Amino acid sequence: MTAVQRVDQHMAGVAAAMLPERITPELRTRYRQLPVMLRTSGLAGAYAFLVAKSDQQTELGRAYGKVASGIRSHLTERRLLSDTSATNHAVLAALAGMQPQEYARAAAETELLAGWLSRLAEAKHQADQAAQSHPGGSG
């Protein structure tokens, strides 16, 4: 028997998998800005920004790349993108070609995902800060 998950449970799991091991203050800020960026720039604009900032040479660049990849995987899993949208260029082309209702659903899904990402990054950052201020545990 397959366990049934609520949508929020699934989103939390997907978002948790997108987070790096450690959340720096700068990463926390970027994750907190993502839901706002999605609302103001739209899904295609925010995705293009993430792709443009992706860079395997820096921690921040790797985080941007992981978020872009996570969004692409999530939208593919939810059947909002086809499996052929395997490259960033293909994702942007697919977003541009969507019918308005499809795009609105993809944007809403991504905004929910970004909300979870923001909340989990904040929680992880707080935990990291607490661990740094109390090395060795609660004593």
Contact 20/12 with Cβ under 8 angstroms? no
Cβ atoms of residues 81 and 96 within 8 Å: no
Q: What pLDDT score does 28 carry? A: 92
Q: Give the model's pLDDT for residue 133.
A: 81
- Mean of all residue pLDDT scores within the chain: 89
pLDDT of residue 139: 45
Q: Domains plus CATH for the chain? A: 9-16+24-123 (1.10.520.30)
pLDDT tens digits, one per residue of 81-101: 987 767 889 999 999 999 999
Predicted structure pTM score = 0.85
